Amino acid sequence: MNRRTFLAAALGTAATAAATAATGIALGRREDDGSTLRVGVMANLTHAPLLAGLGSGRIARALAPVKIESRVFRAGPRVTEALIGNAIDVGTSGPAPAVVHHARHSAGGRGGLRILSGCASGGASLVVTGRSGIGRADDLHGKAVAVTQIGTTQDLALRTYLAEHGLKDRAAGGDVRVIAVAGATILTQMSTGDLDGAWLPEPWATRIVRELKATRFIDERDLWPSRRFSTAVLVARADRAGDARVRRLVTALEDEVERAAQDPARTREEAYAELTRTIGNPGKRWDLDAAWSFMDFTSDPLRETVEELGRRAKRLDLVPHSASIDGLFPVLSARR
């Protein structure tokens, strides 16, 4: 099995299963009667504005009388596949899954997905254990490095970094083991020495640094011009992008992003409470506070960095070279 086939199979199988599991029913569910908006959000700190808005009830109040039906996902490809499969109407995701799934499911810019707003910049790092001996890129030879799922924005970042330093994962004929497991499992396996490192979003990167005394080998902001790059965007299916309910959510999320900048302590508290409610154990409260400094919240989707992710996905054969991300960006709100 060649690398493109392996990655495509991994992406498709995992994401389709996740989308089905997220709904508990077949994809392409009931006909929309306009009364409900199905919103997906990820259990990462880079999605804090949406988490805070949902948990506090502000978004529900902003969209009333429309009812909000929210679902929490653990990785971006699960969000975008749920969108493609009509399991949700709109959600926040990392930009790389949006790029990949749009390229695969659109034709000449028609169909596919639409990025409607930004949410976060930064908040991703490669962390390594002390026992790994990793101090420079060449030290990654023969090492085991994890991501939370194949096809995430951090997975793309890791594979790009490897390629830029003459390294390859085993699926491409190299000797770096790239493993996809949940954040909690990564924490456990790095503590036991089964994993040498992981490219992770916040708060996982900071949790591992603080709990395991690991090293932040790469703060991904240092790899981008002006230290700004998209890590969370609001995405909808193309046929939902112009829906009045979705447009009201865009405005509500912009308000939450502004609130995160003006009153970060409140957003942190509300996001932590929502993560506790939905996933049970988001880690220690002070780890979340420490992780906050590694990201910025912005309604700007940072289009140039998203387009760069598309070029990287092509170079890594995650999408066919003939694929296009035309149409991924509609005309966005002027409030930005």
pLDDT in tens, 230-274: 999 999 999 899 999 999 999 999 999 999 999 999 999 999 999
* Residue 71, Cβ density class (10 Å: 0-12 exposed, 13-18 middle, ≥19 buried): middle
pTM for the predicted model, two decimal places: 0.86
Given a contact cutoff of 8 angstroms between Cβ atoms, the answer to whether 237 and 229 are in contact is no
Sheet holding 113-122, edge to edge: 67-73, 36-42, 90-93, 230-237, 113-122, 295-297
**Cα gap 240→70, rounded to integer Å:** 16
Determine the pLDDT at residue 15: 42
Given a contact cutoff of 8 angstroms between Cβ atoms, the answer to whether 267 and 54 are in contact is no
Domain 124-226 classified CATH 3.40.190.10? yes
| Residue (of 135, 283, 85) closest to 200 by Cα position | 283
pLDDT at position 24 over 80: no
Mean pLDDT for the chain?
87
How many of the other CB atoms lie within 10 Å of CB of 129? 22
Three-class DSSP category at 113: strand
Determine the pLDDT at residue 282: 76
* Residue 286, Cβ density class (10 Å: 0-12 exposed, 13-18 middle, ≥19 buried): exposed
The CATH number assigned to the domain with range 3-122+228-315 reads: 3.40.190.10
Given a contact cutoff of 8 angstroms between Cβ atoms, the answer to whether 282 and 276 are in contact is yes
Confidence of residue 108 (pLDDT cuts 50, 70, 90): low
Determine the pLDDT at residue 26: 38
Identify which has the larger pLDDT, 7 or 301: 301
pLDDT at position 17 over 60: no
pLDDT at position 6 over 60: no
Enter the tokens of residue 259.
Answer: 């609130």
Determine the pLDDT at residue 19: 41
Confidence of residue 30 (pLDDT cuts 50, 70, 90): low
| Residue (of 177, 120, 189, 185) closest to 148 by Cα position | 185
**Cα gap 114→328, rounded to integer Å:** 5
Least trusted range by pLDDT, from 8-17, 188-197, 226-235: 8-17
Domain ranges of the chain: 3-122+228-315, 124-226
**Cα gap 38→69, rounded to integer Å:** 5
pLDDT at position 25 over 80: no
Least trusted range by pLDDT, from 136-145, 152-161, 314-323: 314-323
Give every CB contact of residue 176 below 8 A, 6+ residues apart in sequence.
140, 141, 142, 143, 144, 145, 162, 167, 168, 169, 170
* Residue 41, beta-bridge partner list: 72
Determine the pLDDT at residue 34: 81
Enter the tokens of residue 169.
Answer: 């994962």
> How many helices and strands in the chain, by DSSP H and E?
12, 13
